[in-house]
């Protein structure tokens, strides 16, 4: 199927590893020019080596709102247009809620909620003027149902889902679609503590009806479809990709 993505331009945050990297590579493979943003310059350089003509690496601290909004200018200057934003960057500090420093709580919200809002607004100014665009917010199944020891993360991902719905309703009549993806457990570096401990992994997989974690290459195709012109009637929805865990009886 031709997703009609060739020549489009996307910004992907948190692109240096895990699901963000998978999304950036999948989009580039479909012919999209990608501004890949993350904190790790070395990891971004390795990523861009895969598609040097289609990717631009931009180191960016998601706590710096001016730098986040500036990603839109980076896309316009490098590739002349902007069609897609994938708000993927996020952090998930685990631990007992009573032990969490309020400053860490605030940092989780700055990175997981404020940064996507800032980028969505900056991109939206361009997209609304041109009459088309897609914003894809990478949330989590923790945003569907809060998880213990991940209180701040669950709260931020829940906020991202509500932001997705509200913004989708606000911009639907002006040609801009806003959707969310809620991944479950994927085999990435973020899950290393689980995957490297056989007993912990066994307990974790028991919660997933599919009996395994997701593979990063299963994430990119969903991003590509949602980014494509074929999905212009899809907005405000959350796409769960978790092997059935969220709906396990």
Point out the residues that are catalytic. Answer: 153
178-216 b/e with 16+ CB inside 10 Å = b?
bbbbbbbbbbbebbeebbeeeeebeebbeebeeeebbeb
The answer to whether the Cα torsion of 160, 165, 170, 173 is positive or negative is: positive
Asked whether 201 and 230 are in contact (CB, 8 A), the reply is: no
Count other Cβ atoms within 10 Å, centred on residue 234.
Answer: 16
Nearest of 3, 51, 48 to residue 29 by alpha carbon: 51
């Amino acid at each position: 199927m031709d997703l009609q993505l060739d020549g489009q331009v996307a910004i992907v945050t948190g692109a240096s590893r895990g699901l963000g990297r998978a999304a950036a590579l999948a989009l580039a493979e479909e012919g999209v020019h990608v501004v890949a943003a993350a904190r790790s310059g070395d990891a971004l350089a390795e990523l861009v080596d895969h598609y040097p003509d289609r990717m631009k690496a931009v180191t960016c601290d998601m706590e710096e709102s001016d730098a986040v909004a500036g990603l839109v200018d980076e896309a316009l200057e490098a590739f002349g247009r902007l069609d897609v934003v994938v708000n993927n960057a996020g952090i998930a500090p685990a631990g007992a809620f009573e032990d969490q420093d309020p400053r860490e709580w605030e940092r989780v919200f700055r990175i997981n909620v404020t940064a996507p809002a800032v980028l969505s607004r900056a991109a939206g100014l361009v997209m609304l003027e041109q009459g088309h665009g897609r914003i894809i917010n990478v949330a989590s199944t923790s945003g569907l149902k809060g998880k213990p020891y991940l209180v701040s993360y669950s709260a931020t991902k829940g906020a991202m889902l509500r932001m997705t719905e509200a913004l989708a309703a606000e911009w639907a009549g002006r040609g801009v679609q806003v959707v969310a993806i809620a991944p479950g457990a994927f085999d990435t570096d973020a899950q290393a503590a689980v995957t490297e401990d056989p007993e912990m992994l066994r307990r974790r997989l028991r919660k997933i009806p599919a009996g395994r974690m997701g593979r990063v290459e299963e994430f990119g195709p969903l991003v590509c479809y949602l980014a494509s012109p074929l999905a212009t009637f899809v907005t405000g929805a959350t796409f769960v990709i978790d092997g059935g865990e969220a709906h396990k009886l």
